[in-house]
Amino acid sequence: MHIDLTGRTALVTGSTQGIGAAIATGLARAGARVGISGRTKERVEEAIARIGGEAPGADLVPVAADVTTEEGARQVADALPQVDILVNNLGIFGPVDPLDISDEEWRRYFEVNVLAAVRLIRQYLPGMTERGWGRIQNIASDSAVVIPAEMIHYGMSKTALLAVTRGFAKQAAGSGVTVNSVIAGPTHTGGVEDFVYGLVDRDLPWDEAQRVFMREHRPQSLLQRLIEPEEIANMVVYLASDQASATTGGALRVDGGYVDSILP
């Protein structure tokens, strides 16, 4: 399948590292102009240099702003007034004993993982519907369906993101704009390495630590390994394409068979 996104402008939040950077790279390789989003100018510039090396000739736009705030969203709109493909990837996670999660942390997870995405959808969806074409994708998690005992607040935020996706897909019905969630399974990123080593012996080599983590903490994975960020990006690039025009309102799994369900 040949995917050509030439002429499309994309914004990927949280795209200076990890899954976001892989998604940005995939979209750029497909020909899209891509906004690289991060909190600081320095991190964004570093990411642009790295992504540009992996996608030679890419048209990359620096977007240094805190998208979890209203002011940050306005700064994003100044940098990219028109967006055809919006990928809400930004998210935070971390293990906390359920009884120790403070009110402030509950609110912070909702603000960062849910409301930031809602704000950008409100900002860009009207223009997409006016033009009769658009792609909105919210990067969710297996934790939205299989709530982890050590991260209830994170699971809550990702469950909420699935509801947000379905609701906005209904708002965009018949407009030529699709709205979907991508349910990412346990994925190999720098942050996840820290998370894994918080649960298993830090003296173990990475390959062994990963196997122990999957066996002891994610035994239902059919893949039996962590997913690579590029594997998530492949789904996102497809959903951003014309070929995915009949897929909307969905929660597409790239979870390595982690969720024990035949749907979605």
Catalytic residues: 154
Exposure string of 155-189, with b = 16+ CB inside 10 Å and e = fewer, is: bbbbbbbbebbbebbeebeebebbbbbbbbbbbbb
Q: Six-digit token pair at 137? A: 């994708």
User: Which amino acid makes up residue 240?
Assistant: A
Residue 222 CA to residue 145 CA, distance in Å, equals: 16
Token digits of residue 163 = 């509801």
If residue 195 lies in a helix (H) or strand (E), which one and from where to where? Answer: helix 190-197
Tell me if 51 sits within 8 A of 36, measured CB to CB.
Answer: yes
Cβ–Cβ < 8 Å for 19, 234: no
CA 204 – CA 139 distance, rounded (Å) = 30
Considering just the CA atoms, what is the radius of gyration of the chain in Å?
A: 18
